[in-house]
Amino acid sequence: MRDTIELLEDLIPLRPVSADVAAVNAVTERLAAYLAGEGLHVTLETVDDRRVLYAATVPERRPDLLLNAHVDVVPAEDDQFTPRRVDGWLHGRGANDCLGNAVVCAQVLCRCRGRAAVGAIFSADEEIGGRTTAAMVERGYGARRLIVVIDGAAYAVAIAQKGILTCTLRAQGVAAHSSAPWRGSNAIDALIEGYLKVRDLFPAVRAGDEWHDTMAATLVSAGTVSNRIPDQAEMTLNIRFTEPDGAEQWRRRLAEVSGLTVTPCVTSPVVVFDERTPALQELSAAMAASLGRPIETVRMNGATDARHFARLGIPVAILGTPGRDIHGRDEAVDMAALRAYEDMLTAFACRQG
């Protein structure tokens, strides 16, 4: 077996930014070659030109335990693709989100070979929607007992994540010269008025009490020149919801309240699992015993590839390894803690087998 940190240091310089399919494929193929060399059962699927790796200790698509992490990363400055070790931390894009987690999955497979029925899907586009994970589920990959998505908070088990509705509010006006505004109808004014009505539908959310629907305006577009009243204006909203029918409820409510045209762009379902499920309780207990820390049960504001596994009816747990500044300028992972998570997951997986 390769050393965990050295393997991670080999992957970061490959620069697997989601939009660069060739670079993401290079990471996938590097991991596939490594795992095949360690005696794992390796399958490479193709989804929209992206290579998706499935590896397992057994020659089947639904082992007892399925691990999942993604190998694509968000863009970064050039120097972030040169990994650096500083005071016990490994710095670099993907060190914590999510190449470090992918390496943990790979190492757990190697250590469980001949001891447990464990598999892993290495997603290739999670940062831009996770189509590759959805396709793998459609092709029959899954688990019999538990799925663990490693893409969340450290020292916690997330058993729920909010759904997503990304939509566009569009206002229509009448163009005119800006010197005679009474001759037109300003689409920007209409958009602002409609948005303010929408904003009032979402009460403020406090840290620590976050399992509520939220809305953020993320993009605005209007006008072409400074001396023309625009006849069109639009705004993109990102809504996170907690109810199963939240996307449709909010689409209707936005249209009713704003008076604007509402066009859904992206939707993702809310995911909730019962924390009393035995497999989830066993995982939490194993984490607490192995890591020596209290393990919280939490619900996530963000989304992971767990949304694609939910349809299988198998419990899904979302974990994360200890790191900092995900997607930021100084992303890093705690190297000792990363190894501790690898040890914990290996022991847990072997008990399942």
Q: How confident is the model at residue 352 (pLDDT cuts 50, 70, 90)?
A: confident
Q: Is residue 353's pLDDT more than 90?
A: no
What's residue 287's pLDDT?
98
Please say whether the beta carbons of 185 and 193 come within 8 A. Answer: no
Hey, what long-range contacts does 251-256 have (CB within 8 A, 24 or more apart)?
A: 251/165, 251/167, 253/201, 254/167, 254/169, 254/198
Q: Say how far apart CA 316 and CA 160 lie, in whole Å.
A: 9
Mean pLDDT (whole number) for 194-201? 98
Among 212, 215, 229, 344, residue whose Cα is nearest residue 287: 344
Residue range 258-286, pLDDT digits in tens:
999 999 888 899 999 999 999 999 999 99
Does CATH place domain 4-161+270-352 in 3.40.630.10? Answer: yes
Q: Is residue 20's pLDDT more than 90?
A: yes
What's residue 266's pLDDT?
86
Residue range 80-136, pLDDT digits in tens:
999 999 999 999 999 999 999 999 999 999 999 999 999 999 999 999 989 999 999
Domain boundaries, the chain: 4-161+270-352, 163-268
Does CATH place domain 163-268 in 3.30.9.10? Answer: no
Residue range 212-264, pLDDT digits in tens:
999 999 999 999 999 999 999 999 999 999 999 999 999 999 999 999 999 98
Q: Say how far apart CA 162 and CA 265 lie, in whole Å.
A: 17
Q: Say how far apart CA 328 and CA 138 lie, in whole Å.
A: 33
Q: Say how far apart CA 160 and CA 304 lie, in whole Å.
A: 10
Among 200, 173, 191, 213, residue whose Cα is nearest residue 259: 191
User: How do beta strands 214-222 and 232-241 pair?
Assistant: antiparallel
Residue range 128-157, pLDDT digits in tens:
989 999 999 999 999 999 999 999 999 999
